[in-house]
Amino acid sequence: MKFGHVSMEDYPRVVEVFSENLANNKLVGSECGACQKKYFPPRSSCENLHSDMQDLEISGAATLKAFTIIHFAPDSMANKAPYVVAIGELSDNISVMAHLVGITTKPKIGMSIQLKVQKLDEKRYVYKYVPA
Amino acid sequence: MREEQISTVVSVAAVGHAKFGKRKTEGIRELGYEAVSDLFQDLNMNHTDIDATVVGLAADSFSGQGAPAALIVDEIGLAEKPNIRVESACATGTAAIKTAYSMIKGGMHDTVLVLGVEKMTSISSSYATELMARAGDLRWEFPFGCSFPGYYALMASAHMDKYGTTREMLSSVGVKNHFYGAKNPNAHIQKEIGLEEAMNAVQIASPLNLYDCSLISDGAAAVLLTKKDLARKITDIPIDIIGIGSGSDTMQISSRRSLTSLVGTKRAAKVAYHMAGISSQDVDIAEVHDCFTIAEIMAMEDLGFYPPGEAGQAILDQQTYIGGKIPTNIDGGLKSKGHPLGATGISQAVEIFKQLRNEGKAVQVDGAKIGLSHNVGQTGQFVNVVLYKRGD
């Protein structure tokens, strides 16, 4: 299972597992068993050098912190432009970048948005924001 | 011995600069050669008398040459001297200066040639955009196609929302930098632009348009660093390095607590001011990293020249022109002079060197004694602030 609109690196296990969770419509990050530091998307170990990582399913409710409309895209995304790249703030001090789709008017910082699983094709998934 | 080493003052004794721009007929070796030959022109020392070289070149992928630092020094006949290559993305130039400074301070070498080179225009601008996007987290942010301007556009959207920073304020940065770039013979684009024209340019990553973005350029710049007593044998007016500070930030922009300032710049400035024993009020001329217009506004706030949220209005009010509170990027900045990654931080040193020695000719800050160089890699993952003082 692959992740992202485009990808450049080989898929390490943590991304494989994450993408399989996306395919099952689940947003699963990770939480350190030793210091409770929470991550989304997941990491295979914690920044405090602990390795006891456990699954953390998130709801995806978020607030829009920043956004841009990409008109001139990197080569690999040129056929998808223009698209909105947004940063949303979820709970537990977690903020995540994703496309913001399904908007009818100009996005407003502070608006409620929802992180959701997006299926790109049978083998490729990503997550996206939609207005809440 | 140790006390003597610690008290060693490191000075810039000479500088050189290649023409920035689309240099179709030159490669990295010709560009490096041009900056070095400019430096040693009329100097009472031979380039082979230096002890070592530090070469800053940010990205092999632009020119295609692996181990470019070896090629460049070989081209200038220094193949047998100690050589080291430094990379910190767009802050590569000041990282090279910091490396050479530390070598001299530590007693490793006395006289070090610092050379920054980049050749960026051999590839298309859309492929260059692709390469620069790969400097974002390849696993979790690149897959969303966030271009490099996109990262700064995210910060601009947050800054505009929080402080009411306007389209006009952003464009006034570009207008100023082109005003001065038009007077700089080494600048990539020597042309003034109007505010209306700048405000209505084609969108790249909204709210940033084409005239908010710095240039993709070829170029090179060089400085000769040495102990102050040796510098005095080369020049009557050495320019001393009186402070260097550095900072960094998270790889993923989404992980940052603030999107309206760079913590790396704040840390770097604080350390550099402390080391020099000065404050932002003592600075007479600033060279700040205007890779995008919003970056110059944030830099002026993070460096302490203006409180958060107030730099945009100050720039619009022309406070950062010569004659204003703090003349900034009066060589055209990255926006008009150009931004050949590895050369940029060294080019800032070249401009400050000239200004502090009163060699600016048509564009000169009268009586300038202290200059500040602010150089940012990526979106703040590498930041260096270097303070220079006239040392005669």
392 residues of chain B, pLDDT tens digit each: 445 546 899 999 999 999 999 999 999 999 999 999 999 999 999 999 999 999 999 999 999 999 999 999 999 999 999 999 999 999 999 999 999 999 999 999 999 999 999 999 999 888 888 888 888 999 999 999 999 999 999 999 999 999 999 999 999 999 999 999 999 999 999 999 999 999 999 999 999 999 999 999 999 999 999 999 999 999 999 999 999 999 999 999 999 999 999 999 999 999 999 999 999 999 999 999 999 999 999 999 999 999 999 999 999 999 999 999 999 999 999 999 999 999 999 999 999 999 999 999 989 999 999 999 999 999 999 999 999 999 99
Task: Flag whether pLDDT at A30 surpasses 80.
Answer: yes
pLDDT at B219: 98
Asked whether the bond before B207 is cis by omega within 30 degrees of 0, the reply is yes
For residue B52, give both structure tokens. 């070592």
Half-sphere exposure of B111 (CA within 13 A, CB side): 17
With CB atoms and an 8 Å threshold, state whether B129 touches A99: no
Confirm if B359 and B244 have CB atoms less than 8 A apart: no
For residue A78, give both structure tokens. 């040129």
Interface of B with A (CB under 8 A): 126-127, 129-130, 132-134, 138-147, 149-150, 153-158, 161, 202-208, 252-256, 259
For residue B116, give both structure tokens. 């920054």
B123 to chain A: closest CA residue: A75
Distance from C-alpha of B40 to C-alpha of B112, rounded to nearest angstrom: 13
Half-sphere exposure of B36 (CA within 13 A, CB side): 27
- A124: phi then psi, degrees, rounded to nearest 5: -135, 125
Instruction: Specify the pairing of strand B219-227 against strand B111-118.
Output: antiparallel
Does a structural domain hold residue B51? yes
End-to-end Cα, chain A, rounded Å: 28
Is the alpha carbon torsion for B333, B334, B337, B339 positive or negative?
positive
The whole model's pTM is what? Answer: 0.97
For residue B72, give both structure tokens. 């460049």
Please tell me which of the candidates A3, A65, A68 has its beta carbon nearest to residue B153: A68
Q: What's the domain range around B224? A: 2-123+216-234
Mutate to test the interface with B, among A2, A89, A97 (most CBs of B within 10 A): A97
Instruction: Specify the pairing of strand A61-70 against strand A95-100.
Output: unpaired
Q: How deeply is B117 buried, as exposed, middle or buried, from its count of CB atoms within 10 A (0-12, 13-18, 19+)?
A: buried
B146 to chain A: closest CA residue: A85
User: Which residues of chain A neighbour B202 with C-beta distances below 8 Å?
Assistant: 71
For residue B260, give both structure tokens. 């309206």
With CB atoms and an 8 Å threshold, state whether B144 touches A99: yes
Does a structural domain hold residue B59? yes
How many domains are there within chain B? 1
Q: Identify which of B354, B346, B389 has the alpha carbon closest to the alpha carbon of residue B243.
A: B389
- B390/chain A closest Cα distance in angstroms: 42
Q: Which residues contact B344 (CB under 8 A, 6 or more apart)?
A: B90, B92, B93, B116, B221, B289, B334, B375
**DSSP codes of every residue in B1-28:** -HHHHHTPPEEEEEEEEPPPB--TT--H
A79 to chain B: closest CA residue: B145
pLDDT at B2: 46
pLDDT at B3: 52
Q: How confident is the model at residue A39 (pLDDT cuts 50, 70, 90)?
A: very high
Distance from C-alpha of B117 to C-alpha of B58, rounded to nearest angstrom: 8
Distance from C-alpha of B219 to C-alpha of B11, rounded to nearest angstrom: 24
With CB atoms and an 8 Å threshold, state whether A87 touches B253: yes
How many domains are there within chain A? 1
Task: Flag whether pLDDT at A7 surpasses 90.
Answer: no
**B324-359 exposure pattern, b = at least 16 Cβ within 10 A, e = fewer:** eebbbbbbbbbbbbbbbbbbbbbbbbbbbbbbbbee
Residue the block writes with tokens 């207005």: A131
Mean pLDDT of A38-53: 94
Task: Look up the CATH number of the domain holding residue B84.
Answer: 3.40.47.10
Q: Does A70 touch chain B (CB under 8 A)?
A: yes
Q: What's the domain range around A28? A: 2-131
Q: Does A98 touch chain B (CB under 8 A)?
A: yes
Confirm if B153 and B208 have CB atoms less than 8 A apart: yes
